[in-house]
Amino acid sequence: EIVLTQSPGTLSLSPGERATLSCRASQNVGSTYLAWYQQKPGQAPRLLIYGASSRATGIPDRFSGSGSGTDFTLAISRLEPEDFAVYYCQQYGNSPFTFGPGTKVDIK
């Protein structure tokens, strides 16, 4: 099983600042089998990024994904008030298709 580790656990930032979230895999997940999701309280998750760097439909370009192999990054260039949420990475290269534990981005 591929274990995903996300860091930091919590990121405290102000609106307008840049956020950088990390996702590290215990094994190579391939160059493209990594997705990022955003979840707000009481809501279902929303797909942000798939294939490590492709934005899902309707996702603003302030969200960007990068990385390959075992190290991946989600960047939010300028935080908007609606971006404060929990972010999860998921690998879908090998079953079980595991999620990371999440990074909470909260308002400083």
Partner 1 sequence: EVQLVESGGGLVKPGGSLRLSCAASGFTFTTYSLNWVRQAPGKGLEWVSSISGSSGYIFYADSVKGRFTISRDNAKNSLHLQMNSLRGEDTAVYYCARGGSGNVYLIDWGQGTLVTVSS
The residues of the shown chain that bind partner 1, judged by CB under 8 A, are: 1, 33, 35, 37, 39, 44-47, 50-51, 56, 88, 90, 92, 95-102
Given the complex with partner 1, which of 62 and 104 has the nearer CB atom? 104
Structure-block tokens of residue 99: 């999620």
Residue placing its CB nearer to partner 1 in the complex, 48 or 76: 48
State the minimum distance, in angstroms, from the CB of residue 15 to partner 1. Answer: 25
Distances, alpha carbon 105 to alpha carbons 26, 33, 42, in Å: 24, 24, 16
| 63 touches 69 (CB < 8 A) | no
Q: Taking the complex as a whole, how short is the minimal distance between the CB of residue 30 and partner 1, in angstroms?
A: 11
- Closest by CA to 6, choosing from 20, 22, 26, is 22
